[in-house]
Amino acid sequence: QVQLVESGGGLVQAGDSLRLSCAASGLTFSRYKMGWFRQAPGKERELVAGISSGGTLYYANAVKGRFTISRDNAKNAVYLQMNSLKPDDTAVYLCASGLLLNPWERYDYWGQGTQVTVSS
């Protein structure tokens, strides 16, 4: 079965950086688009960044210029480099995989999430 396991979350101060990792198994990783979502308490889950099997990128406006998504098909892994973190970035971050490119927000498999907390 498909498994997505996130790591790298933690408690940081505003302005700091974090790098999230997601290890995937049980799927032909190179065929799937990968995405990072986040969900804060009382808010809807939102797509933060996505990367297609061919390397096409998507970023939410709130993170453009601060976050970078990348993938390593040899390691079946996707990463989210988060710089200049803000308290508003505080959320559970979830890794997701999907076979179809469009729409960007549609994914088939989800990880359990990793908590990111940014203090002011």
C-alpha 18, offset from chain centre: 12
The three-class DSSP label of residue 69 is strand
State the virtual CA torsion across 14, 61, 6, 71 in degrees, nearest 10.
-120
For residue 101, pLDDT beyond 90: no
Positive or negative: CA dihedral 24, 26, 30, 32: negative
Is residue 102 very low, low, confident or very high in pLDDT (cuts 50, 70, 90)? confident
Task: Answer yes or no: is pLDDT of 111 > 90.
Answer: yes
Which pLDDT value is given to residue 90?
A: 98
Q: What is the pLDDT of residues 63-87, one digit of tens each?
A: 999 999 999 999 999 999 999 999 9
